[in-house]
Amino acid sequence: MTETTLPFDSKVILTLNPKKPVTMYSKIVPNSFKATKDVASYALKGQPIKPCKAMRTGVPLGITAHNTNDIPKLSGGYKTPAEQYAAATWNCNMGGAIVQYYVSPGVTWQLLSDIEQGWHSGAGSTYKTGNRGTQISGNLDTISIEIIGSSSEAEETGAILMAFLCKKHKLEPALDIYPHKFWSGKQCPIWILPRWDKFIATVKANISPAANPVSPPVTSKPDRYAVSGLTLIRAKNPQIKYVDGSKLNQPYPNYINAGFWGTFDEGITLPGANLCADIDFTKLHRLQKYYLEKVTKNGKLVFNCMDNFVKQFKGKNVSTLVIPETGKPYIKAFNGFGGAVKYGISGMPVIIGGKDASWTNDVLPQGWDSSPVYATYRNFAGIRDGEVWIIFGASKTANHISTSETFNALKGEGFSDVIALDGGGSFVVKENGKITAATTGDRRINNILTWEV
């Protein structure tokens, strides 16, 4: 039996209250996701099912508590009411409402990042004078939490989640948690309102019991080690930079060449598939400025498969390492970034969900061909226990994916997902200020992945 029916992007165990752990699933709705039918006057068929906007100040100013009806008899194979409500959102069956979290006893499902706007307050974009004496909007400024049903277990799970979010975003329960009723007058959260002060006291009581609110990743592996001819490095604080320059002379102490790219007019490079990276627009060639201006804002390039100059990826769902603004990194196949993403980079799938990727069923449908899989040195990015790992080494077979060469080398290492990055003449690894591995020559590369030690 699978853990959930609805696939999830990430999962963490919240142990703010060690006696009552909460399993937190995340399946963030991307900006590119469109309604498959008319769900509201403001979300018609073909339009986004969410505002696709960051919160007004870039951070949450509060939390809005809701109640919604329980589901006495689950359908569709879903394991909890929170999962079924999350699935209903993805299936465009929530009538235009979209919230950050749904809560069942011991379980939460997240659909929006903590710092993006939702549709939940029933008051549009209007403002009210909040508890701190400043103007605040339910939809534009607060994290929305739907606690499902009237059970004390669901209510306590909601209180634990709110305590975690208050600690995370430096919010004060008594001042910054609002009932839905505050915004629109609706009698909601209907089961919590009669004991609102007690509920807020429960949130407060859950703020300080534990030193480690989220279960830490397994760190039994050293930060750098070798296995089966491959070198593995724990990438702390990974970042992706758009460089379009020398592979050997980038001004970072630790980096690898990363995503795939193509060469275009006047020798400039442009990325293939998905790329979300830091970029210095002032240093770009005039043609790059022309091509990338529409997808660059405030020093960040957000380049999707739909924008692609490498035609083989246009419109395809391509495996992509995502480092979100909040939550743990993950690898998922898609054709456009959604939600609050800090960094992202595409690669060829090698391991998917802990299993060997199929060349025919997984790799080719994404738009990849056999040109990048020949025997050579290359880099990889993998996810293990919620952390990003860099992997590099030389393959020996004509197709390291179809022969399962890389999978067999890594299958005992506990990776949930691994993607192959660029290699061959682009291959370079720099550690602690020194080039530790590279192929000959100083090829111009498009982007790099950096990390801290």
Distance CA 448, CA 432 (A): 15
pLDDT (mean) for 62-80: 94
Give the pLDDT confidence score for residue 284 in this predicted structure.
Answer: 72
**Residue closest to 91 by CA, chosen among 76, 72, 74:** 76
Q: Give the 3-state secondary structure of residue 402.
A: coil
pTM over 0.75: no
> Where does residue 280 rank: exposed (0-12), middle (13-18), buried (19+ CB within 10 A)?
exposed
pLDDT (mean) for 321-337: 86
356 to each of 32, 181, 359, 363, how far by Cα in Å?
Answer: 28, 50, 9, 11
Give the pLDDT confidence score for residue 351 in this predicted structure.
Answer: 95
377 to each of 6, 400, 440, how far by Cα in Å?
Answer: 37, 11, 11
Please write the tens of the pLDDT for every residue from 391-429.
999 999 999 999 999 999 998 898 999 999 999 999 999
pLDDT band, residue 268 (cuts 50/70/90): low
Amino acid identity of residue 173, one-letter, is: P
Which residues of the chain are in CATH 3.40.80.10 domains?
Answer: 10-205
Residues 10-205, CATH architecture: 3-Layer(aba) Sandwich (3.40)
Give the pLDDT confidence score for residue 325 in this predicted structure.
Answer: 83
295 to each of 289, 355, 443, how far by Cα in Å?
Answer: 10, 34, 25
pLDDT band, residue 210 (cuts 50/70/90): very low
Residues 104 and 36 sit within 8 Å (Cβ to Cβ): no
Give the pLDDT confidence score for residue 214 in this predicted structure.
Answer: 52
Average pLDDT for the chain: 89
Percentage of the chain exceeding pLDDT 90:
66
Distance CA 415, CA 36 (A): 34
- pLDDT at residue 358 greater than cutoff 80: yes
pLDDT (mean) for 142-169: 95
pLDDT band, residue 218 (cuts 50/70/90): very low
Please write the tens of the pLDDT for every residue from 112-128.
999 999 999 999 899 99
Give the pLDDT confidence score for residue 217 in this predicted structure.
Answer: 45
pLDDT band, residue 211 (cuts 50/70/90): very low
Give the pLDDT confidence score for residue 227 in this predicted structure.
Answer: 94
SS (H, E, C) 381-394: EEEECCEEEEEEEE
**Residue closest to 25 by CA, chosen among 42, 39, 11:** 11
Distance CA 54, CA 56 (A): 6
200 to each of 179, 189, 211, how far by Cα in Å?
Answer: 11, 13, 21
List the structure tokens of 346: 């595409």
